[in-house]
Structure 1
Amino acid sequence: MSKQAIFDKFIDFMGRFSEFEIVTALRDGFIYTMPFTISGSLFLLIANLPIPGYAEFMASIFGENWSAPLQQVAGATFEILSIIIVLGMTYKFCANRGCDAISAAGLALCSFLIVIKSSVISDGGEIVSGVIPKGWVGSNGVITAILVSIVVSKVFCYCEKNKITIKMPSQVPSGVARAFAALIPAVIIFTGSAIIYALCDVLTNVTFPELVFTIIQTPLQSLSDTLGGAIIVASLQSILFWAGIHGPNIIGGVINPVLMANAIDNQQLVNAGMSLIGNPQAKIFTIQISDVFIQSGGTGMTLGLLIASYIKAKSSQLKSLTKLAIVPGLFNINEPVIFGLPIVFNPYLLVPFVVVPVITVTITYCSILFGFMAPCSAVMVPWTTPPILSGLLLNGWQGAVVQIINLIVAIVIYMPFIILQDKANLKEEQQYK
C-alpha cells in the first residue's frame, strides 16, 4: 500500500471518528466548562498576578486574607469540574439523540454522586460524613465523569426510545409526564450505580473514581505529560486541519479533559504553598500550552505565516489575504487563512503547518523542563487573547519571551514556503493578465 493510500485511509478514519456520537458529546460537553473555567481563571489571575511584590501590596491594603473571596470563586469552578462535565456531556449526548436531555443530565449527576465517597477525613483525623468531597468532583474525577455520562446517556436513551417508561395520559402536563417517564430509567441507573459502589467497596476497599483514577486517569495524565505526547497532539491537530477536518475540535475533545486535569493538579500544588518550578510533581503539558503557546494566530501558528507573507509577498492574492486575515489572526482566529489561502490540501504549506507546532511545543516544553518558565497552574485566559499578552498574563515576562521566540521560529520556518507559494500565485496571476 502506498504512503498516499495510507494517509487517505487515516484521514477517512479520523473524519468518521469525529462523527462518533461519544466524541461529539465529549467535545461539546467540554465546551460547557469554558465559561466556568475562564471566568474562574480571571479571579484566580487577580489573586496570583505574576508581578513581584503584588501579593504583599494587596495584603497591606486589604489584609492577609485578601485573596480568600477570589480563591472561593476558583474553588467553586475548577474544583467542581467533573460535575460540570457529567452534566454537559450527558445533556449533549441525549439532546443529539432527541431524548429528554435535562432529565438525563440530572440522573447522570446523581449517578456520579452515588459512586463517589460521601465522607472526608478532617485535619484531626476524624471522618466527616454527609459531604461531597471536592477532591473527587474536580480534576481527579474527570475520567469517571466521562464514563458515567456515556453509560447513563446510553441507558436513558435506550429506555426512552424503546418505551421502557411510565406513560401518562395525554391530559397530564408535559413537565409531569417527563418526570414520570424518567422513573424507570432512574431506578435502573441508580441500581447499577449502587451495585458498582458496593462492589468497589467490598472487592477493592476504594470507590469507583479512585479505582478509575489509579488505573486509567493517572497513566493518561502521565502519558500526556511527556514531550512525545505533546508532539503527537500538536502534529495531529495540524495534519487533520490541513486535510479539512477541524483538528483542534477532534483532538481537543479527547485530550483537553486530561490537559485540564494536569493544570488543576498544578494549581493544587500552588494552593499547598509549593513552587511549580523544578517541582517533579508539576505537570508540564497543560491545556494552556496547547491553546496558547503553540497556537499563536490559530492552529499551525499561522500568525507567523501572515507576518512572513507581509514581509515577502508580491502576489496580489497573498497581499490581499494578509491584509484581510492579520486582524483576526492577532486574536487567534485563522479560518481566513485555513480556507482562504487555502492551507487545506495545499502542498506548499503542509510541511511548515505541521513542523511549526512540533518545534514550538518542543521549545515551550523544554523552557519549562529546564526551569526558565514555570508550569501553568489553573489560570487561563480567553483563547482570543492576543499572543505575548496571553503569555504575560499566564507566566509573566518569561511566558511572553517564550511566545516571542516561538513566533520568530514560526516566521523563519514559514518564510521559504511562503516564497514558493507567492511564486506560484504570481505565475497564475500573470497567466490571467
Structure 2
Amino acid sequence: MTKFNDFFNKLLDPFLRLVNTKAMLAIKDGFLLTMPITLVGSLFLLIANFPIPQWDQWMSNIFGSDWSAPLNQVAGSTFDILALVAVLGISYTYAKNEKVDPISTAILSLVSFLVLTNSFVTTESGETVNGVIPKGWTGGNGIITAIIVAIVVAKIFVFFIKRDIRIKMPDTVPTGVSNAFSAMIPGVTVMLGSMVVYAITSKFVGLSVTELIFKLLQTPIQNVSDTLAGGLFITFLMSILFWAGIHGPNIVMGIMGPILTANALDNQKIIDSGQELIIGENTKIMTVQLIDVFAKFGGQGITVGLLIAALLFAKSKQLKEISKLSIVPSLFNINEPVIYGLPIVFNPIMLIPFILVPITAVLITYGAIIVGFIQPFTAVQVPWTTPPLISGFLLSGWQGLVVQLTIILASTGIYYPFLLKQDKQFLLQEKEMEELNKNEEINTTLVSESTI
C-alpha cells in the first residue's frame, strides 16, 4: 500500500503544481463570487418555471399572461453579467493574494474586458446601435475571456506595483488617493494594450477579442465538456483526488465550473429565444447541475448510499457510530465526516465504489436526458446544501426526484459488498481490541493482588 501511495503521489504532483498556481487559485476562489447572483437569479427563474404541470396557466390566471416578465428580468440581470462578475472576482482575488490593491486591479480588469468587447450591437434589420454593452458577451459567452483578462491584467498590475513602477505620493496623502495615483501607470499600460489588441483583431479578423476567444477557445472547450466522456472524466478526477485526501470537487469544479455553467446558460438562451431544446442539435447535456445535483449529491462519491447500507447492515461499532454521525450532514451534501472518519481517504476497500458510484450517476442522468425522461438543464440552480430528492424535484419535477432516488438505490447496492468487507475488518479489529483490554485488566488485577 505504501508503494502504491508513493506512485500515486508522483502521478499527482504535476497536476497539483498546476492547480496550486496563483492563477488557478484565483480562478477557483474568484469564480465563487458569482455564486450569490446565480443562486438568487435561479430562485426567480425557478418561480417563473416551477416544475409543476399547469403552473404557468395557474399563475397567468392570477397575475396575467405576462406574470413572469419581472422574474425573468431579475434572472437575466444576474446570469447576463456573469462574465463581468467573474472578471472582477478573479482579478480581485489574485491581487489580494499578492497583497496589492485589489480594488484598483479589479476595476482595471473590468475596463480591459469592456475595451476588448464590442460597444455596439447589430439589429435584425442590419442597423448598428452604438454606445451599448452587449449582454450577449457579458454572460456565459464571455467567461473564458473574463478569466484570461482577469489573470493577465492582475499579473501586469502586480508586476508594476511590486517593482515600484508607479506614481508615489507623500505618506500624508490618504491611502485611497495614493492607491489611485499608484494605479495610473499600470492602468495606462493595461488600457493601451487592450486598445491595441482590440484594434488588431477588429481590423484583421473582423471580430472583437471576446468573440474571437469564444470562437477559438470557449466553443471547443464547451463542446469537449459536453460529451459523456468529458463528464465521466470530470467525475472520475474529482473522486480519485478526494480519495487521495485532496478536495477534488473544489479543484476540478473551480476550473470546470465556469465551462459547465456556460453550457447551462447556452440552453437557457435557446429557451429564451422561443426555441425548443432538441437533443443532438442545439442542446448541451453536460451542465453544472448534472454534476452538482445528480453526480455528487450527498457529497462526492454519493456516500449517502454507503451510509444507508451501513445503517441497515453494519455490525461493527465503528461503522454504526460513523454512519449515525454522518447521515444528517450527508443529507445536506456534506460528507467530510465519513470521508475522513471511516476513512475513505486512502482506503483501498472503498476506492472502487467511491469512483464507480458517481460514474454510474452520470450514466443514469445522461441516459435519462437522452431518452427524454428529464429535460436538459438551463440556468436554474439550487443551493448546494439542498437535500437530495428535493433538489432533483426543484430542477426537474417528479422525474428528477425519481432519477435521484434511482441513483441512491444504485449507490447503496454498489457500496454494499465493499461495506461488508470493511465491516468484517472492523469487527476483527474490535475483537482484537477487546481481547487486548481483557488481558490488560487481568494483568492489572494480578499486579494488585501480588502487591496486597
TM-score range, shorter chain: over 0.9
1:368 and 2:365 correspond: no
What is the match of residue 438 of structure 2? none
Residue 366 of structure 1: how far off its partner (Å) = 1.4
What is the match of residue 139 of structure 1? 140
Residue 279 of structure 1: how far off its partner (Å) = 5.9
CA contact under 8 A between 1:296 and 1:407: conserved in structure 2?
A: no
What is the match of residue 206 of structure 2? 205
What is the match of residue 249 of structure 1? 250
Moved over 2 A (4+): 2-8, 11-18, 122-125, 274-279
Superposition RMSD in Å: 1.2
What is the match of residue 232 of structure 1? 233
What is the match of residue 50 of structure 2? 49
Alignment of 1:394-405 (within 5 A): 394-405=395-406
Amino acid at match of 1:218: T
Distance 1:149 1:186 in 2: 13
State the secondary structure of the residue aligned to 2:81.
helix
Residue 16 of structure 1: how far off its partner (Å) = 2.7
Structure 2: gaps (5+ residues): 435-452
Distance 2:221 2:122 in 1: 27
Residue 18 of structure 1: how far off its partner (Å) = 3.0
Amino acid at match of 1:357: P
CA contact under 8 A between 1:293 and 1:403: conserved in structure 2?
A: yes
Structure 1: gaps (5+ residues): none
State the secondary structure of the residue aligned to 1:125.
coil
Per-residue CA deviation, residues 380-430 of structure 1 (Å, 9 max, x unaligned), is 000111111101100111111111111111100000001111111111011
What is the match of residue 35 of structure 2? 34
Per-residue CA deviation, residues 19-70 of structure 1 (Å, 9 max, x unaligned), is 2111110100111010000110000000001111111111111111111111
CA contact under 8 A between 1:21 and 1:93: conserved in structure 2?
A: yes
Q: TM-score if structure 2 supplies the norm length?
A: 0.94
Per-residue CA deviation, residues 202-242 of structure 1 (Å, 9 max, x unaligned), is 11000001110111000000000000000000000000000
What is the match of residue 217 of structure 2? 216
Moved more, 118-127 or 89-98: 118-127
Per-residue CA deviation, residues 99-139 of structure 1 (Å, 9 max, x unaligned), is 10011000000000000010012344321100000000000
What is the match of residue 292 of structure 1? 293
Amino acid at match of 1:393: L
Alignment of 1:49-198 (within 5 A): 49-198=50-199
Distance 1:10 1:195 in 2: 42
Percent identity for Structure 1 against Structure 2: 52
CA contact under 8 A between 1:166 and 1:180: conserved in structure 2?
A: yes
Residue 4 of structure 1: how far off its partner (Å) = 6.2
Per-residue CA deviation, residues 141-178 of structure 1 (Å, 9 max, x unaligned), is 00000000110010000000001110001111111000
Residue 3 of structure 1: how far off its partner (Å) = 7.1
Per-residue CA deviation, residues 274-328 of structure 1 (Å, 9 max, x unaligned), is 2325362110000001101011210000111111111111111110011100000
Amino acid at match of 1:13: P
1:304 and 2:302 correspond: no
Moved more, 64-73 or 116-125: 116-125
Residue 17 of structure 1: how far off its partner (Å) = 2.8
Distance 1:122 1:68 in 2: 22
CA contact under 8 A between 1:314 and 1:426: conserved in structure 2?
A: yes
State the secondary structure of the residue aligned to 1:137.
coil
1:13 and 2:14 correspond: yes
Distance 1:283 1:6 in 2: 37
Figure out how many residues of one structure are paired with residues of the other and give that number.
Answer: 432
Distance 1:231 1:429 in 2: 38
Distance 1:179 1:156 in 2: 13
Moved more, 256-265 or 47-56: 47-56
Distance 2:257 2:247 in 1: 15
What is the match of residue 340 of structure 2? 339
